[in-house]
Amino acid sequence: MDQSGAVLPALIAAVVAGYLLGSIPVAVLVGRARGFDPRDVGDRNPGYWNVKDQLGPRGSLPVFAGDVAKGAVAGAVGLLLDDPAWGIAHVAVGSAMFGHAYPVFAGFRGGRSILTFVGGMAVLAPVPAVVTVLVLLLVWAATRSFAWAARVGVFGFPVVQLAFESKERVAATGALLSIIGLRFAQAAMSERRAAQ
């Protein structure tokens, strides 16, 4: 994309497409098909982990696949529109994560965007993503805790990425991770309020 005048329409398209993709409430749709709303049970988070607690790994697989696919498709759309100087692909993934966290199709009550981030990074940074999955599997084997392995994988991703990609791309990844951090902080504040 050589002409600067084409950047703004591409950015707008990336934001709109990413947000609408992210807003598809996969966990809510799967839960309702099975007779419950994940926002009303368990930890009330409309994401994979809460649905897995309700339905088990097999029953929650569509949520896992759907949430990853939202980030991956947004990343692919972003790459089609991409201008590296503007980071349009990262904007598309960030918009999908924001849509997952605050979905227009589900009353703006969404999840923490972890799997949407994973799907986006699988498309935007495939080599670091593969290495990070290997690290995750090693941590899982050593600790026997997938929850800890997942944390190491997600938050350790920029460290792995730094070995393969530019500091600018790693900084963009850090910006995406801040959305996840924000969602965890909001969840902690909600729990504190509920406990008072």
Q: Where are the domains of the chain?
A: 4-123
State pTM to two decimals. 0.90
Tens of pLDDT along the chain (196 residues) come to 455 567 889 999 999 999 999 999 999 999 999 999 999 999 889 999 999 999 999 999 999 999 999 999 999 999 999 766 678 999 999 999 999 999 999 999 999 999 999 999 999 999 999 999 999 999 999 999 888 888 899 889 999 999 999 999 999 999 999 999 998 888 888 777 777 6
- Number of Cβ within 10 Å of residue 157's Cβ equals 26
Is the C-alpha dihedral spanning 156, 123, 46, 141 positive or negative? Answer: negative
* Residue (of 142, 112, 120) closest to 39 by Cα position: 112
As a whole number of Å, the end-to-end CA separation of the chain is 54
What pLDDT is recorded for position 189? 84
What pLDDT is recorded for position 188? 81
- Number of Cβ within 10 Å of residue 155's Cβ equals 12
What pLDDT is recorded for position 1? 43
What pLDDT is recorded for position 5? 66
Query: Is residue 36 a contact partner of residue 54, using CB atoms and an 8 Å limit?
Result: yes
What pLDDT is recorded for position 190? 78
- Number of Cβ within 10 Å of residue 191's Cβ equals 11
What pLDDT is recorded for position 64? 95
